[in-house]
Copies of this chain bind each other. A is one copy, B any other.
């Protein structure tokens, strides 16, 4: 037998006493295996001379031409725009896209990872959601690209996101430059990297401009309340409690809209008495009155980067270490609410 050519992944798996999926992981070096396993598999590969090309070929042959797209909420315009652009990218390449809506339910996300895996999708794009990718829900070695989520303990994970920290800094700065001194933040009380970064950017801007950080102005809504209704209520409460503020940074446009509704209910003029800025630049931000200042994310850029990265992974192209993560810039859109 020509040892250098004829050994299969299956044979390597048998010889190293691990699963085929594990061998595949080691070959593709995607990190989900122990160092001990890597050594054992590598020694068999070294001995028999299995080449990456063969692995690539074997993987290419099992394409199902479908991908899974996990999204927290398709009824949030920001997510639906991203989903539609990703869907278009793949459909144009003859891939079908199964969209799975998790409603930010962790159990549901895990269940969808499992189902997509069992339906033999070629890869998964996962938008936001839970912090850790439930890799134990995936039995096959398929690529996963995350958007707006920096997976924990995943040194070589693939992800694409906006510069949330910078966006948050710019939003706070916009309010400061327009004269605000007591700036509230209305955000979501969750430990996702996106939420953390947005809070940090706000704090840093206050610090850099020598403004005081007031804990009573850090309004962190529970995830189930982090919608426009929750923002409206919390602003009403803030006013009722007699807490003074002259600017509000809401970490998405829906929450900013709720803030503006709450202010209107209390006959507080925007922007004369309180200035407001949102995040995302969805339809509601320019259709409301007064029109809302916001931070625009590059939705087309995010969709393209994530989709093309997954496509390259599916095609077994080699991805350089510096091409595994992309952080896209954002920009301030100044409208009437911060005039």
Binding site for B on A (CB under 8 A): 65-66, 73-75, 77, 80-81, 83-84, 87-88, 91, 96-101, 103, 108, 111-112, 115, 119, 257, 284, 287-289
Q: A96 touching B101 by the CB < 8 A rule?
A: no
Q: Which B residues are in CB contact (< 8 Å) with A88? A: 103
Q: A97 touching B96 by the CB < 8 A rule?
A: no
A254 to chain B, nearest CB (A): 10
The contact of A101 among B73, B99, B257, by CB within 8 Å, is: B99
Q: B101 touching A83 by the CB < 8 A rule?
A: yes
Q: Which residue of B lies closest to A81 (CB)?
A: B75
Q: Which B residues are in CB contact (< 8 Å) with A111? A: 91, 96
A334 to chain B, nearest CB (A): 22
The contact of A75 among B77, B91, B119, by CB within 8 Å, is: B77
- Of the A-B pairs whose beta carbons lie under 8 Å apart in the complex, a sample of 17, sorted by A's number, is A65-B115, A66-B119, A73-B84, A74-B83, A74-B84, A74-B99, A75-B84, A83-B101, A84-B101, A87-B101, A96-B111, A96-B112, A97-B100, A97-B101, A98-B99, A98-B100, A289-B289
How far is A87 from B99 in the complex, measured between Cα atoms in Å? Answer: 11
Known: A66-B115, A77-B75. A84 touches B103 (CB 8 A): yes
Q: Which B residues are in CB contact (< 8 Å) with A99? A: 74, 98-101
A129 to chain B, nearest CB (A): 15
A256 to chain B, nearest CB (A): 13
Q: Which B residues are in CB contact (< 8 Å) with A74? A: 74, 80, 83-84, 99
Q: Which residue of B lies closest to A75 (CB)?
A: B80
How far is A28 from B280 in the complex, measured between Cα atoms in Å? Answer: 50
Q: Which B residues are in CB contact (< 8 Å) with A81? A: 75
How far is A29 from B15 in the complex, measured between Cα atoms in Å? Answer: 54
Q: Which residue of B lies closest to A107 (CB)?
A: B91
Q: Which B residues are in CB contact (< 8 Å) with A119? A: 66, 98, 119
Q: Which B residues are in CB contact (< 8 Å) with A115? A: 65-66, 96
Q: Which B residues are in CB contact (< 8 Å) with A100? A: 96-99
